[in-house]
Amino acid sequence: MQHEQRMITTDDAATLADLFNERCMRTPDGLAYVQYLDGEWRNRTWGQTREQVGRWQAAMVADGLRSGDRVAIMCSNRWEWVICDQAAQGLGLVTVPVYTNDRAKNIAWILADSGASMLMLETVAQWNSLQGLHHKLAGLPRVLCLEPGAVGTDNLASLSDWLGEGPHPYACRPGNPDSMATIVYTSGTTGRPKGVMLSHRNILFNIGATLKLFDVFEHDLLLSFLPLSHAFERTVGYYLPMTTGTAVAHSRSIALLADDLIEVRPTILISVPRIFERIYARIMGKLAAESPLKRHLFRAAVDTGWAHFLYSQRRGPWRPSFLIRPLLDLLVGRKVRARLGGRMRFTVCGGAALPPEVARLFIGLGIPVTQGYGLTETAPVISANPLYNNLPASVGLPLPGIEVRVSHDDELLTRSQSVMLGYWNNPEATRAVLDEDGWLHTGDKVSIGASGHISITGRIKDIIVLANGEKVPPGEMENAIALDELIDQVLVIGEGRPYLSALVVPTQEAFTQVARELHLDPDKEDSCRDKQLRTVFMQRVQQCTAAFPGYARVRKLAVVSKPWTPDNGLATPTLKLRRNKILERYHDIVEELYAGH
């Protein structure tokens, strides 16, 4: 009952500003945010956060910002991200998140297209990295840098100079739930980013629907590491905890995530499959070097844990091996869970497909991993696997109140109060995905089982059609190949070709070891073209894809040394591969793979 009273519903909050205001009034002394500063983790309460928001609002008003103006936030996950967003929401402004690792030309496009009146940057180094944009940023009424020392145009100010003295009251202006709260630019794999317009109702409805499938409590602690520029993290890892009064700890970085998990000891984690895939690859790599007895114990722990999971889900029988499960857990499972902090109640994965073998390992070791699915255009969650009905091979059940249906060509369509208002300044693109009846065309091919669980079978535009007419969804193969500890990134290709090939980027540490075993210099570009090295990679790829049909086998591959990143334009800020850009960059290598055919 106390949990229900503490939770904020859409009856209590019509806007995101109402949500924040209601939370601060209900639990002003409750723990809100945890952040690493000056060598230690520091706690902030809801009341302290509201006090800072009021100061920021006074400075925004002094800058002449008015309701409906856009405020761009280019910052890593930290307390100030929340403060800037809430200051803007309370004044009726529209926030525009910008990825910190996005390319300069994309940033320039977003700022110009959104008509931003303010840009918040994080560091002097970030300001310097945008040197080529300074002449364009000069047109912004305000560029704010959180770190002192940035110098440039007259509109540039450090936080200490910009904020006024003394406390200022927090303003929560009355708002329309159907008004625009934010413009979130999609990190599309092709073309310019599109600005998704999300209303307060879109986001609040999505939170309420998600909480009907998951129990989140005030005493939970969520570790936030996915960029708040991503709609998944923002809705589920930021606004949802505000609804329940749950504290959020901001991770220092992806590189320090392993340390943060141990130090923060979260109970909930919002993640993407790649994090678990990397942990899986490391575990399997280390396991290969262990004694036969340790390998046997590990496999027994996973197998028994998985069987018990199926039994608890009423999808499997009771087994006598469950009697020794506590011992196996003591020897194996507990040690792995300790590396995640030892208190993890569950994790929710989204953004890409979670390979079944990865889910099986973690669930088998007592780490509940659930998979969800959604789009920025749906604020974002469409479906999720609740803990009590978790089918890991699927992306779960539609959230309550969200309609789904499958079109004649197996495309998933969805309709709900979470569906976006449309694309900013782009009515043509809006009409292309949102029909007159309010159904959003997701672009994802799916199947829906008798249980109602949704399974993603591929992207309509990403399906590879071989020269013989066979159709192959490359995502499934790429997920399988990327589980190998030697391979960091992979792109399966073959559109209109007689067979499939692959471009692979090696994991640096494992690649160095293999190269030296073959008496190759791992730092030389030519080493990637060595025939023996390619043979090693091909053997790994063939092992990973052995379960696929004969026509869906990779026949040739090329090893490329440089990773595909947002900086070189070959990946989006959310690390999705830009297939067309990669094919353009490696055109000559691709042609060599098909020479003579």
Which pLDDT belongs to residue 305?
Answer: 98
Residue range 148-153: average pLDDT?
Answer: 82
Residue pair 554/541 in contact by the 8 Å Cβ criterion: yes
Angle between helices 273-288 and 356-364 (to 10 degrees): 70
Cβ-Cβ contacts under 8 Å for 549 (sequence gap 6 or more): none
Q: Sorting pLDDT into bands at 50, 70 and 90, what band is 110?
A: very high
Domain layout of the chain by residue ranges: 16-26+41-175, 464-593
- pLDDT of 2 over the 50 cut: no
Cβ-in-10-Å burial (0-12, 13-18, 19+) of 42 comes to exposed
Nearest by Cα to 95 from 210, 196, 207? 196
Residue pair 240/216 in contact by the 8 Å Cβ criterion: yes
- pLDDT of 279 over the 80 cut: yes
Partnered with residue 33 across adjacent β-strands are: 44, 248
Identify the CATH homologous superfamily for domain 16-26+41-175: ANL, N-terminal domain (3.40.50.12780)
Identify the CATH homologous superfamily for domain 464-593: ANL, C-terminal domain (3.30.300.30)
Candidate from 100-109, 322-331, 410-419 with smallest mean pLDDT: 100-109
- pLDDT of 575 over the 80 cut: no
Which pLDDT belongs to residue 191?
Answer: 61
- C-alpha 581/C-alpha 570 separation (Å) is 6
Residue pair 564/582 in contact by the 8 Å Cβ criterion: yes
- If one counts every other C-beta atom within 10 angstroms of the C-beta of residue 562, the result is 11
Please provide the DSSP assignment of 178-232 as one string: TSEEEEEE---SSSS--EEEEEHHHHHHHHHHHTTT----TT-EEEE-S-TTSHH
Q: Sorting pLDDT into bands at 50, 70 and 90, what band is 4?
A: very low
Instruction: Give the tens place of pLDDT for each residue, 517-551.
Output: 999 998 888 888 899 999 999 999 999 988 777 76
Residue pair 570/582 in contact by the 8 Å Cβ criterion: yes
- C-alpha 26/C-alpha 21 separation (Å) is 9
Which pLDDT belongs to residue 192?
Answer: 77
Residue 593: how many CA atoms within 13 Å on its side-chain side?
26
Which pLDDT belongs to residue 187?
Answer: 63
Residue pair 19/13 in contact by the 8 Å Cβ criterion: yes
Instruction: Give the tens place of pLDDT for each residue, 182-207.
Output: 999 986 545 678 999 999 999 999 99
Kindly compute the dihedral angle of the four CA atoms of residues 311, 312, 314, 316, in this order, to the nearest 10 degrees.
-10
For residue 38, the 8-state DSSP code is: T
- If one counts every other C-beta atom within 10 angstroms of the C-beta of residue 45, the result is 17
Which pLDDT belongs to residue 68?
Answer: 97
At residue 414, what is the residue type? T
Nearest by Cα to 499 from 552, 558, 542, 559? 552
- pLDDT of 425 over the 90 cut: yes
Mean pLDDT of the chain: 92
Partnered with residue 472 across adjacent β-strands are: 464
- C-alpha 493/C-alpha 479 separation (Å) is 14
- C-alpha 411/C-alpha 428 separation (Å) is 20
Helix (H) or strand (E) run with residue 119 in it = strand 118-121
- pLDDT of 567 over the 90 cut: no
Which pLDDT belongs to residue 578?
Answer: 87
Which pLDDT belongs to residue 597?
Answer: 61
Q: Which one has a higher pLDDT value, 9 or 30?
A: 30
Residue range 249-270: average pLDDT?
Answer: 96
Instruction: Give the tens place of pLDDT for each residue, 111-121.
Output: 999 999 999 99
Candidate from 126-135, 151-160, 459-468, 502-511 with smallest mean pLDDT: 459-468
